[in-house]
A and B are shown apart, each in its own frame.
Chain A
């Protein structure tokens, strides 16, 4: 029997495979394709204090081995999440983690307080790294002091597992990770999307309505892997790795770089069953390599 279970502080995952915020809706969108109860966790769409319509269309551009998005946190707000969505997903046999985003520290704190009261939400992921909103978002995640401030404030208001999602659009991601660890984060997840842009040579215009957007997909994987490696050396809290994971081999690479769990994002758009294939693939890898517990793999590459 191969042990796939891992822990992110008090958050117990039956396996290390989670879904990345903004790529899996609320899980309900995927029920026709997979048993969502097999997942280690679902990180639901970024949730803000009030309803947001997001950015104007066009919001997406396909790029080599990836895509740019500029959705801009479209969601119905935390109160609508609690009233309309939470009752339909709280019974899932997996961890539901709410991705929390705000324009001000007060907004982050107020959402965290409301989510803290929900019995079936064992963790939040604090999004201080969204590149597609004018206020807040990434602005909190690109300096150590602002990252520290927002995490410290939310920590006081939130008693369960607090994950902080980091931006790769910084000079030194390890320093940001250390700042949020110091402020009381239980875990860091990385990376959010990389700032990029696309121009249509025929129309001679930027493709996205917002000009810039966030790059995801296999194109960013080497950058994400490098950042997980660096952050693993810098902090003691568990890391959740993401960025371009398309299959079980990619997932294993993130574990070897130091991630305790991983998130699958853009791959869900191409294969709605990919998460299950990754879970099965990790188990198969462990069997093939004589790995008894997934924990043996975490950070293993640092031995060399």
Chain B
């Protein structure tokens, strides 16, 4: 079940130079939303931001019917979105796509850049079934780090920075916790394509189940335009918006390249 609703912005503020955290509220009960799902937000009635923007769900609170988004400003649409103020209304189509598998297991969540966003809600959902995941963040430098304390509440946090300013120096896939693949049965990853490919290849080498969350450009978000496709290992094109955005990495050609 999906619906289109006007939400009210409760709060919106930058958490570092590039990312802002926006919380929106619905005046009636939310439909169930799962970790890894996304929404399509109508940003503005302007010709240069013509389409909706697909945004992943960062957190959900059914007590006050709010959804939070952690958004990186990366173009005109997200820039306009960041300028909306509390009490303004945003039109949202939700919940969209298929999310991460939440079940018993030894989970490692690997996020790079804005790919951290959906991993917070994933960790919270894992906590609800008694799983306390390891969470590995790869970022450029200390300045790009997000609110680590919040993540420490829901998992064991490990960090790599490219300049070594926080945590281990290097990329996420070079962190020393990966020297112990036997510690994991599930890996979930979201972030830059190169990082997700490296994570998927690591998981494949060690026979660990791996789910990747793709962010292909899309128009409709509901499987009508067929623009956001990714290719499976058997040569079929699947819509990222309806068959994903979370996929078993082993099924995609993406992870093999």
A interface, CB within 8 angstroms of B: 22-25, 29-30, 32-33, 45, 53-54, 56-67, 69, 71, 74, 217-219, 266, 268-273
Please tell me if B182 contacts chain A, counting CB pairs below 8 Å.
no
How distant is A195 from chain B, measured CB to nearest CB, in Å?
17
Chain B residues whose CB sits within 8 angstroms of the CB of A45 once the complex forms: 226
Q: Complex: how many Å from CA A24 to CA B223? A: 9
Q: Can you name 19 A-B pairs with beta carbons within 8 Å?
A: A22-B225, A23-B220, A25-B222, A29-B223, A29-B224, A45-B226, A57-B231, A57-B237, A58-B217, A60-B228, A65-B47, A69-B219, A71-B225, A71-B227, A218-B47, A268-B220, A269-B219, A270-B50, A272-B93
Residues of B within 8 A of A (CB): 1-4, 42, 47-48, 50-52, 93, 216-220, 222-231, 235-237
Residues of B within 8 A of A30 (CB): 222, 224
Q: Evaluate contact between A60 and B227: CB separation under 8 angstroms.
A: yes
Query: For the complex, what is the distance from the CA of A63 to the CA of B50, rounded to whole Å?
Result: 8
Q: Is the CB of B228 within 8 A of A57?
A: yes
Number of A-B contacts (CB under 8 A): 95
Q: Taking the nearest CB of chain B, how far is it from the CB of A68, in angstroms?
A: 10
Rounded to whole Å, the gap between the CB of A3 and the closest CB of chain B is 30
A119 to chain B, nearest CB (A): 26
Of all A-B residue pairs in the complex, the 7 with the closest CB atoms, nearest first, are A60-B227, A65-B47, A269-B220, A269-B219, A25-B224, A32-B2, A59-B227
Closest CB in chain A relative to B44 CB, distance in Å: 11
When the two chains form their complex, are residues B3 and A32 in contact, meaning their CB atoms are under 8 A apart? yes
Which residues of chain B are near A271, meaning CB under 8 Å? 4, 42
Bound-complex Cα distance A53 to B226 (A)? 10
The reply to whether B230 and A57 form a contact with Cβ atoms under 8 Å apart is yes
Q: Which one, B1, B50, B216, B226, contacts A74 given CB within 8 A?
A: B226
Q: How far is the CA of A56 from the CA of B225 in the complex (A)?
A: 14
Within the complex, the shortest CB–CB distance from B234 to chain A, in Å, comes to 11
Task: State whether B51 touches A25 (Cβ < 8 A).
Answer: no
A266 to B42, CA, bound (A): 14
Q: Is the CB of A270 within 8 A of B216?
A: no
**CB distance B229 to A54 under 8 Å?**
yes
Q: Complex: how many Å from CA A32 to CA B2?
A: 6
Distance, CA A22 to CA B219, complexed state (A): 12
Q: Which residues of B contact A67 (CB under 8 A)?
A: 50-51, 219
CB contact under 8 A between A71 and B220, given known A32-B2, A269-B51: no
